[in-house]
Amino acid sequence: MANRACACHILVKTREEAESLLKQLNKGAEFDKLARKHSTCPSGKQGGSLGEFGRNDMVKPFADAVFKGPLLKVQGPVKTKFGWHLIKTLYRQ
């Protein structure tokens, strides 16, 4: 079972905003550009990159998406105490 992963995310305040961004991504928008423009997380400045982290470094709904969901496919919206996330897992090891 993977214990480390690398992921990018876009964090927004509402489900509606997350769904709107997801539609843009599905139409070919670039994840990093949307993250820079819309994400409320400081990682937005790096295109949403969170770097590598451990399973226990993230809140459970986020970690579940990263460690159980498909690689390189945008997941979400995922709700956490921080807001609504669109998550793209780059790799797990």
* Total count of domains within the chain: 1
Tell me the one-letter amino acid at 43: S
pLDDT digits (tens, 9 = 90+) for 43-86: 999 999 999 999 999 999 999 999 999 999 999 999 999 999 99
**Residue 68 to residue 86: CA distance in whole angstroms:** 15
Q: Quick one: pLDDT at residue 54?
A: 97
pLDDT digits (tens, 9 = 90+) for 1-33: 789 999 999 999 999 999 999 999 999 999 999
Residue 77 sits in a domain whose CATH number is 3.10.50.40
Q: Quick one: pLDDT at residue 60?
A: 97
**Residue 91 to residue 3: CA distance in whole angstroms:** 11
Per-chain mean pLDDT for the chain: 97
Q: What is the DSSP string of 34-50?
A: HHHHH--SGGGGGTTEE
What predicted TM-score, i.e. pTM, was given to this entire model?
A: 0.95
Domain coverage including residue 49: 2-90
Q: Quick one: pLDDT at residue 1?
A: 75
- Say which residues have a Cβ less than 8 Å from residue 9's Cβ, sequence separation at least 6: 35, 39, 41, 43, 48, 50, 62, 85, 86, 87, 88
